[in-house]
């Protein structure tokens, strides 16, 4: 009998071994690096999904918090981790899209160092005002600002954070002259707006929701492309200013070189977890909206579109990288 050519034999063996590797994965704990502190909304969301994936695999998924440096510490650690299918980065908008536009140099390259795995959820921003502000709509807020430009103060997390850039863009898009007041974190920005030391605040729905439920703040607009579940009565910015569609998001990515068959298995299993009604509801309560299963290719296109969208934002607000 004529023997198989060596190249054909190698190809067959590679395919068989690859399939076996995917079937055996994972055979040990899997690590999800997160560049946010324990107890934060991304951390709670990551652990919620990780716990369910652990049950699917009968193998622990460890959420490894590496906060600090505006996500740089965690992103760098994830980028340099072994591309063996056991290391992932539970990434935020800032780490994969914002940082390359606001830093002159980074010790990691989001496009080169990571491959997309699965979209977890999107977190729209909410524009809200102190209850003493006599504006119940965006149009009324604009009119109030024009009556006395620069009097209204907007709390945010700093000009180069997601909320800070959005707050600056709000001025550019509407022609308002809100005084930008940066804070070291979301909590003090919200607390000062509730207290009336600032009058406007723009942060994620995840952070804003508890204050809205208690009636501490009045929502007047959301930054998503469509109205947000739970805030259906609140108009989107895009309804008045087409194209104003910016949301934060969480996505799972892996170090470049991670085997494709494992990436696809993780994508399938994470999507299955995200389809569970109780998980969807708990994520929604945390301010993260999952819009259904997607492929790694769809996530890659989303990231490409987001980079273009945020590059325009940075140009519009004339933000210079440092």
For helices 260-274 and 6-24, the axis angle rounded to 10 degrees is 30
For the chain (length 322 residues), average pLDDT per consecutive 10? Answer: 50 47 82 92 93 97 94 96 98 93 94 97 93 95 94 88 88 94 90 97 88 95 89 93 89 98 98 96 87 94 94 89 82
Structure tokens at 302: 């989303």
Same domain, 104 and 40: yes
Q: Confirm whether 128 is domain-assigned.
A: yes
Domain final residue, candidates 224, 240, 256 = 240
Tell me how far apart the alpha carbons of residues 142 and 131 are, in angstroms, rounded to a whole number: 16
Q: Confirm whether 87 is domain-assigned.
A: yes
Q: Which domain covers residue 307, as residue numbers? A: 6-123+247-316
Domain final residue, candidates 240, 258, 279 = 240
Which CATH number belongs to the domain containing residue 193 in this structure? 3.40.190.10
Same domain, 12 and 42: yes
Same domain, 42 and 76: yes
pLDDT in the model for residue 20: 44
The 10 Å Cβ neighbour count of residue 139 is: 13
Tell me how far apart the alpha carbons of residues 261 and 171 are, in angstroms, rounded to a whole number: 46
DSSP summary character for residue 134: S
pLDDT in the model for residue 133: 96
- Please report, for the chain, how many H helices and E strands are present, in that order: 14, 9
Q: Confirm whether 107 is domain-assigned.
A: yes
Same domain, 263 and 215: no
Q: Confirm whether 276 is domain-assigned.
A: yes
Domain final residue, candidates 196, 223, 240 = 240
Same domain, 221 and 269: no
Task: Give strand pairing partners of 64.
Answer: 33
Q: Helix or strand or coil: residue 301?
A: helix
Same domain, 99 and 184: no
Q: Confirm whether 322 is domain-assigned.
A: no
Same domain, 101 and 143: no
The pTM score is 0.84
Tell me how far apart the alpha carbons of residues 63 and 44 are, in angstroms, rounded to a whole number: 10
Which CATH number belongs to the domain containing residue 100 in this structure? 3.40.190.150
Helix (H) or strand (E) holding 188: helix 186-195
Residue written as token pair 């007047």: 220
Structure tokens at 42: 């991304």
Same domain, 194 and 92: no
Q: Confirm whether 1 is domain-assigned.
A: no
Distance of CA 35 to the CA centre of its chain: 12
Q: Which residues have CB under 8 Å from 92's CB, separation 6+?
A: 35, 36, 42, 71, 248, 249, 250
Same domain, 254 and 111: yes
Task: Give strand pairing partners of 89.
Answer: 33, 253
Same domain, 130 and 113: no
Under a CB-based contact definition with an 8 Å cutoff, are residues 315 and 292 in contact? no
Q: Confirm whether 267 is domain-assigned.
A: yes
Phi, psi (rounded to 5 degrees) for 223:
-100, 5
- Domain count across the chain: 2
Same domain, 109 and 254: yes
Same domain, 146 and 236: yes
pLDDT in the model for residue 21: 44
b/e 155-177 (16+ beta carbons within 10 angstroms → b) = bbbbebbbbbbbbbbbbebbebe
Q: Which residues have CB under 8 Å from 209's CB, separation 6+?
A: 230, 285, 287
Q: Confirm whether 321 is domain-assigned.
A: no
């Amino acid at each position: 009998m004529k023997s198989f050519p060596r190249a054909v034999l190698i190809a067959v063996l590679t395919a068989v071994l690859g399939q076996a590797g995917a079937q055996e994965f994972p055979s040990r704990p899997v690590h999800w690096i997160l560049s946010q502190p324990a107890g934060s909304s991304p951390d709670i969301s990551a652990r919620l999904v990780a716990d369910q994936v652990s049950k699917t695999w009968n193998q622990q998924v460890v959420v490894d918090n590496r906060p600090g440096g505006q996500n740089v510490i965690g992103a760098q650690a994830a980028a340099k981790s072994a591309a063996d299918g056991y290391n992932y980065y539970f990434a935020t908008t800032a780490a994969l899209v914002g940082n390359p536009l606001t830093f002159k140099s980074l010790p990691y390259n989001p496009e080169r160092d990571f491959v997309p795995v699965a979209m977890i959820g999107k977190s729209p921003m909410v524009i809200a005002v102190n209850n003493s502000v006599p504006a119940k709509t965006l149009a009324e807020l604009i009119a109030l600002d024009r009556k006395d430009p620069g009097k209204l103060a907007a709390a945010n997390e700093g000009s180069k954070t997601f909320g800070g850039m959005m707050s600056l863009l709000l001025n550019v898009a509407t022609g308002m002259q809100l005084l930008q007041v940066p804070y070291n974190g979301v909590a003090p920005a919200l607390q000062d707006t509730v207290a009336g030391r600032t009058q406007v605040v723009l942060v994620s729905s995840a952070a804003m929701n508890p204050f809205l439920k208690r009636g501490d703040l009045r929502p007047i607009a959301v930054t998503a492309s469509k109205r947000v579940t739970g805030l259906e009565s609140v108009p989107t910015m895009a309804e008045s200013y087409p194209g104003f569609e910016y949301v934060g998001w969480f996505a799972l990515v892996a170090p470049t070189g991670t085997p494709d068959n494992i990436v696809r298995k993780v994508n399938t299993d994470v999507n299955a977890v995200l389809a569970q009604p109780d998980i969807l509801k708990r994520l929604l309560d945390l301010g993260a909206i999952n819009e259904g299963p997607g492929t790694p290719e769809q996530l890659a296109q989303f990231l490409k579109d987001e980079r273009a969208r945020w590059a325009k934002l940075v140009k519009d607000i004339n933000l210079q990288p440092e």
